[in-house]
Amino acid sequence: MSADQAAEKVQTLMEVLEKIWQDGDSVSLSGFGVLEVKKKNERVSVNPTTGVRMLVPPKLVLTYKPSTILKDKLK
């Protein structure tokens, strides 16, 4: 496989993954981990120096959780 072909394939993979995440699905790969979209609730954050309170809106964040197989390889 040439580099160009590889890049092209990576591109299509990214598009597919993005589509999955936008639909709210998660990707689970054995030996690697889980990539999923999680909803973070809105919260009030306080600037410790100024004391200004900010309402941080809720958001959807892509998270990654490594698989236990991968974790075991870590020190």
Under the criterion CB under 8 A, does residue 70 sit at the interface with another protein?
Answer: yes
From CA 3, how far away is CA 10, in angstroms rounded?
Answer: 10
With CB under 8 A as the contact rule, the residue among 2, 4, 72, 75 that binds another protein is 75
Q: At closest approach, how far in Å is the CB of 7 from another protein? A: 9
The answer to whether residue 12 forms part of the interface with another protein (CB under 8 A) is: yes
DSSP 5-19: HHHHHHHHHHHHHHH
- Would you state the structure tokens that stand for residue 32, as one six-digit string? 């690697």
- Closest to 60 measured CA to CA, from 39, 42, 41: 39
Mask: binding to another protein, 33-62, rule CB under 8 A, as x and -?
x-xxxxx-xx-x-------xxxxxxxxxxx
Q: Does 22 bind another protein (CB under 8 A)?
A: yes
Nearest-angstrom CA–CA distance, 38 and 36: 6
Least distance between another protein and beta carbon 63 (Å): 7
